[in-house]
Amino acid sequence: MKLSTAFAAVALSAAAALPAMAAPNLLINGGFESTVLANGSWANVGSVAGWSWLAGPGTGFEVRNNVEGVAQEGRNFIELDTNGNTTIGQYLDNLGAGSELDLSFWYAPRRNVAASSNGIQVFWNGVLLDSTITGLGTNQDVWSQHQYRVTAQAGRNLLSFASVGTSDSLGGNLDNVSLNRVPEPGSLALTAAALAGAFLLPRRLRRAAQERRAKALASTLGR
């Protein structure tokens, strides 16, 4: 591979890596880390930063730190079947109508709980995004990532999660929820071009300097 090609390849791969850096999580407290809990403890909360209880037989949901499972991200994760099946959500304002967004979250069946009791469902503006996500809990955590592309509506948008199945205070775990704007193709191309230019500019300058030196040498020899 020529050096210039290598520079361009590096520039393009750097540009490809940029969206993850350039598109911050639009959710507040997507990893449920705002609740300060000692290792091995849990709390039943009605709301935490970003998230609110929306429906259910109880008044809250459960934030846990290393209780019946270990967080997928950070220290905390949540369980929605708290005193019974519960729905929580986060409202987002001013996303811009028609904006494309990438939603991601991680789910794990609660340890030693049947799939019939471990289900969760995810909704975007009240519309179910997938069939029930569930699994048989074994004696260890098995986190799986779930990803969706959603479109913002005008005004307020709502991302919500509900526990479903047997309502028995035992249910699936949720952690590391993120919502990121999908980068515009045009902005990606511009970023790649700018990076490639940044890498290639010194090469052009070196070539110009070489040409000046060659002319000077030719001029000297021609005397």
How many CA atoms are closer than 13 Å to the CA of 92, on its beta-carbon side?
25
Q: Which residues contact 102 (CB under 8 A, 6 or more apart)?
A: 147, 148, 149, 178, 179, 180, 181, 182
Nearer of residues 102 and 168 to Ca ion, judged by Cβ: 168
Nearer of residues 73 and 102 to Ca ion, judged by Cβ: 73
Q: Residue 16: in which H helix or E strand, if any? A: helix 3-22
- Where does this chain bind Ca ion (CB under 5 A)? 31, 71, 73-74, 76, 81, 117, 166, 168, 170-171, 175
Q: Residue 189: in which H helix or E strand, if any? A: helix 185-221
Phi, psi of 219 (to 5 degrees): -65, -40
Write down the least CB distance from residue 185 to Ca ion, Å.
32
Scanning the structure block, which residue is given the tokens 């090609």? 5
DSSP SS3 for 203: helix
Nearer of residues 11 and 78 to Ca ion, judged by Cβ: 78
Query: What is the gyration radius of the CA atoms in the chain, in angstroms?
Result: 26
Write down the least CB distance from residue 32 to Ca ion, Å.
5
Write down the least CB distance from residue 169 to Ca ion, Å.
7
Write down the least CB distance from residue 41 to Ca ion, Å.
15
Write down the least CB distance from residue 117 to Ca ion, Å.
3
| Alpha-carbon gap, residue 11 to 13, rounded angstroms | 6
Residues in the chain: 223
Write down the least CB distance from residue 167 to Ca ion, Å.
6
Phi, psi of 71 (to 5 degrees): -55, 150
Nearer of residues 164 and 192 to Ca ion, judged by Cβ: 164
Write down the least CB distance from residue 21 to Ca ion, Å.
20
Tokens standing for residue 9: 């390849």
Nearer of residues 68 and 73 to Ca ion, judged by Cβ: 73
Q: Residue 4: in which H helix or E strand, if any? A: helix 3-22
Nearer of residues 15 and 60 to Ca ion, judged by Cβ: 60
Nearer of residues 11 and 71 to Ca ion, judged by Cβ: 71
